[in-house]
Amino acid sequence: MNEQELSRRLARVGSHVPQDARLADIGSDHAYLPVALMLKNKITFAVAGEVVRGPFQSAEKQVRKSGLTDRIVVRLADGLEAIEVNDEINAITIAGMGGTLIRSILESGKNNGRMNGTERLILQPNIGEKTLREWLAQNDYAIIEEEILEENKKTYEIIVAEKQKPTTYTEQELFFGPKLLEEKNEVFFQKWQRELTAKERVLSQLEKAEEKPLEKVEEIKMQLAWIKEVLA
Ligand code: SAM
């Protein structure tokens, strides 16, 4: 992967960024995503935010090498603290982190006034999709698009959300993804087939335990029922 040729995962994340967007890419590492989108004239301005000095310096170097220092600003900052009001950001990408971390970045950003609610959020959690969807639903975001894809034998989900009139989601929609559940493509089936096997194994271990964690057992049983229903 480089700034010219993104991984399939990042390319798909980038495909959900609106044309001519002013983008904040949070956790930008080498700034591959904003640089690639700028080179394709997909965005007009970007902030590449990084909290760790090493990746921040890699991002700075990449932006300089690409001759884009006037249109991509690299900032060493925690989460959405990288965004300033004058940036007029209207799309935020947060990719390659756990759903819980992405959720806490969004929560802090909301509380610190770093988002005004008009931004499109393009999120790619590596795990913990449900907790992220719950945050979106609790904060009046509608999930407008979702994708599930496989790369290097790993499965990734992309969640695109915008603040719209409040949408309510069922527990199953939050668990599987409302759009993914509608589409149920091949990668989705494969993921949930694997999850079924893994959860059945966990359940059988828990049931052998001397002191059964009853709540956890019930939760897994319920999820197994949902998964079987979806795969049927
Ligand atoms: N977004 C890139 C991608 O999807 O390929 C890089 C993903 S990398 C696994 C995660 C990056 O997020 C790391 O460079 C890490 O330092 C950064 N990161 C983690 N927590 C962060 C935070 N609170 N604010 C900004 N960056 C953060």
In DSSP terms, which residues pair with 43 in a beta bridge? 21
Other C-beta atoms within 10 Å of 134: how many? 16
pLDDT confidence band for 3 (50 / 70 / 90): low
Best residue among 51, 62, 114 to mutate for probing ligand 1, ranked by most atoms within 8 Å of CB: 51
pLDDT digits (tens, 9 = 90+) for 19-50: 999 999 999 999 999 999 999 999 999 999 99
Burial 169-202 (b: 16+ CB within 10 A, else e): beebbbbbbbbbbeeeeebbeebbeebbeebeee
Q: How far is the CA of 49 from the centre of ligand 1 (A)?
A: 8
Other C-beta atoms within 10 Å of 222: how many? 13
**Cβ(83)–Cβ(47) under 8 Å?**
yes
In DSSP notation, 75-99 reads: EE-SGGGG--GGG---EEEEEEE-H
Q: Quick one: which atom of ligand 1 is closest to the CA of 9?
A: 4
Q: How far is the CA of 212 from the centre of ligand 1 (A)?
A: 37
Helix (H, G, I), strand (E, B) or coil at 189: helix
Helix (H, G, I), strand (E, B) or coil at 158: strand
**Cβ(36)–Cβ(12) under 8 Å?**
no
Instruction: Please give the model's pTM, rounded to 2 decimal places.
Output: 0.96
pLDDT digits (tens, 9 = 90+) for 160-177: 999 988 789 999 999 999
pLDDT digits (tens, 9 = 90+) for 94-136: 999 999 999 999 999 999 999 999 999 999 999 999 999 999 9
Rounded to whole angstroms, how far apart are CA atoms 26 and 22? 13
The amino acid that residue 98 corresponds to is G
Write out the H or E segment, with its range, that includes residue 160.
strand 154-163
**Fold for domain 8-169?**
Rossmann fold (3.40.50)
Q: Quick one: which atom of ligand 1 is closest to the CA of 94?
A: 1
List, in order, residues 6 or more apart from 10 with CB less than 8 Å away: 1, 32, 33, 36, 95
What residues line ligand 1, using a CB cutoff of 6 Å? 10, 26-29, 49-52, 55, 78-79, 95-97, 101, 105
Q: How far is the CA of 98 from the centre of ligand 1 (A)?
A: 10
- Closest-CA residue, ligand 1 atom 9, reads 96
Rounded to whole angstroms, how far apart are CA atoms 100 and 85? 26
Q: How far is the CA of 210 from the centre of ligand 1 (A)?
A: 40
**pLDDT > 90? residue 226:** yes
pLDDT of residue 5: 79
